[in-house]
Amino acid sequence: MYAIVKDRGKQYKVRVGERCLIDLKADAQTGQILEFDNVLVCSNEEGKTTLGADTNKNAKVIAEVEGIKKSAKCMTIKFRRRKESLTRRGHREKYTRIKIKEIICD
């Protein structure tokens, strides 16, 4: 059983009991329950798959927030051949870690 959900412009394939990283939800607290209503694809135990957000209006995915995680640091270096002409910048993307509790397909 799996589902593909759309959340703020990105799509995620999720299964029950799976942990996944989504883009940062700044207002989410650890232990909070999230509901994803925009389900694009839903597959049940029998293998029946329904496609399209308009056909899956009653389907939803329930997840629990486990916390915030940072990705590995991505370094960028701009080097020019002149003296003291080196620029270094680092960036770490933040994610919200969730655990899928239940997938409801009708």
Give the C-alpha separation, 56 to 73, whole Å. Answer: 38
Domain regions of the chain by residue span: 2-104
Q: What is the pLDDT of residue 95?
A: 95
Residue by residue, pLDDT tens for the chain (106 residues) are 899 999 989 999 999 999 999 999 989 999 999 999 999 999 877 778 888 877 778 889 999 999 999 999 999 999 999 998 999 999 999 999 999 999 988 7
Q: What is the pLDDT of residue 74?
A: 96
What is the secondary structure of 7-72 as a DSSP string?
Answer: ETTEEEEEETT-EEEEE--TTPPTT-EEEE--EEEEE-TT--EEESTTTTTT-EEEEEEEEEEE--
Q: What is the pLDDT of residue 90?
A: 96
Give the C-alpha separation, 94 to 17, whole Å. Answer: 22
